[in-house]
Amino acid sequence: MTLEEFQKFIDEQDAFFRSLGKSASERERVLARTVKLSEELGELCDEVLASQGFQRAGKMETRDQNGLGDEFADVAIVTFLLAKSMNVDIMAALDRKVKKIKEKHNKQLESGSVA
Distance from C-alpha of 44 to C-alpha of 23, rounded to nearest angstrom: 25
| DSSP letter assigned to residue 18 | H
47 counts as binding Mg ion under rule CB under 5 A: no
Q: What length is written for the chain?
A: 115
Residue nearest to Mg ion (CB): 74
In angstroms, what is the minimal distance from the CB of 79 to Mg ion? 12
With beta carbons less than 8 A apart as the criterion, state whether 3 and 91 touch. Answer: yes
74 counts as binding Mg ion under rule CB under 5 A: yes
Residues from 75 through 114 that contact Mg ion (CB under 5 A): none
Q: Which residues of this chain interact with Mg ion, rule CB under 5 A?
A: 40, 43, 74
